[in-house]
A = this chain, B = another copy of it.
Amino acid sequence: MDTITTSAQEGTLPFAGHTDVTVTDHVAGRCQAVNDILARVGDKWSMQVVMVLADGPVRFNQLRRAIDGISQRMLTRTLRALERDGLVSRAVTPSVPPRVDYSLTELGRSLREPVLALGSWAMANRETIDAARTEFDRRAI
């Protein structure tokens, strides 16, 4: 069994307003949570799943087909991680064959907004970024 406890890469993110604390470094303990979320948002499949789920409940294999390239294993793992964080809920219909629907929780839906903001930024600046990369690579030969 693959444990999923979310490696939760430790470290801190000095978020605005670390008006300086006397102890360790900056707010340390508290905004490590931010890094945690960033890691989940940044992983290969999480946000793709969230975006597909945005339109309503979707079954496992629908999800699998909707997200091009994802393996069964990774879909399961991603869904479990999202479920563990309370972003996705899992509804089992004990029929034959079994039916499992996944949907966003209220928390999951609330995450869409900031992620979409980031997505808009990415779309708005992708050409600039591509140009910067090309230029950087050209100068490095």
Chain A interface, DSSP helix/strand/loop, else mixed: helix
Contacting residues of chain A (62-94) with chain B, CB-CB under 8 angstroms: 66-70, 83-86
Residues 123-141 of A, flagged 1 when their CB comes within 8 A of B and 0 if not, give: 1011011111100110000
Chain A residues touching B, range: 35 or more
Given the known interface contacts A68-B11, A110-B121, the answer about A43 and B44 at a Cβ–Cβ threshold of 8 Å is no
The interface residues of chain B lying within 8 Å CB-to-CB of A137 are 5, 84
The answer on a CB contact under 8 Å between A39 and B44 is yes
Chain B residue at minimum C-beta to C-beta distance from A24: B68
> In the bound complex, what is the Cα–Cα distance between A123 and B36 (angstroms)?
11
Given contacts A83-B136, A84-B133, A129-B86, A42 and B51 within 8 Å (CB-CB) = no
